[in-house]
Amino acid sequence: MTLVSSPTAGRRQAPRRRRRRLTVDYVSFLAVFLGLPLAIFLVFVISPFAQAVYYSLTNWTGFSPEMGFVGIGNYIRLFQNPTFVQSMGNSLLLALVVPLVTLTIALIFASLITVGGPSHGQVRGLGGASFYRVVSFFPYVIPAIAIGLLWSQIYSPSGLLNGILQTIGLSVGDFPWLGDERTAMGASIFVIVWGMVGFYMVLFIAAIKGIPAEVFEASRLDGASRFRTTISITLPLIRDNVQTAYIYIGILALDAFVYMAALNATGGPGNSTLVMSQYLFRTAFEKGQFGLASAMGVMLAVVTLVFAAIVFTVSWATGGRDKGGRA
pLDDT tens over the chain, length 327 residues: 444 545 555 455 555 556 666 677 777 877 788 888 889 999 998 999 999 999 999 999 888 888 899 999 999 999 999 999 999 999 999 999 999 999 999 998 888 888 776 666 566 666 777 777 778 888 888 999 999 999 999 999 988 999 888 888 887 888 999 999 999 999 999 999 999 999 999 999 989 888 888 888 888 888 777 888 888 888 889 999 999 999 999 999 998 999 999 999 889 899 999 999 999 999 999 889 999 999 999 999 999 999 999 988 988 887 765 554 443
Reported pTM: 0.83
Domain-by-domain residue ranges, the chain?
Answer: 83-326
Q: How far apart are the first and last CA of the chain?
A: 50
**Beta bridge partner(s), residue 319:** none
Q: Is 318 helix (H, G, I), strand (E, B) or coil?
A: helix
Q: Measured between alpha carbons, how far is 230 from 225 in angstroms, rounded to an integer?
A: 9
The rounded radius of gyration (Å) of the Cα atoms in the chain is 27
At 166, which amino acid appears? Q
Answer yes or no: CATH 2.60.40.420 is held by domain 83-326.
no
Q: Measured between alpha carbons, how far is 21 from 15 in angstroms, rounded to an integer?
A: 17
Burial state string for 202-213 with b = 16 or more CB within 10 A and e = fewer than 16: bbbbebbeebee
**Beta bridge partner(s), residue 58:** 69
Q: Measured between alpha carbons, how far is 162 from 154 in angstroms, rounded to an integer?
A: 8
- DSSP summary character for residue 98: H
Task: Please count the CA atoms within 13 angstroms of the CA of 222 that sit on its side-chain side.
Answer: 13
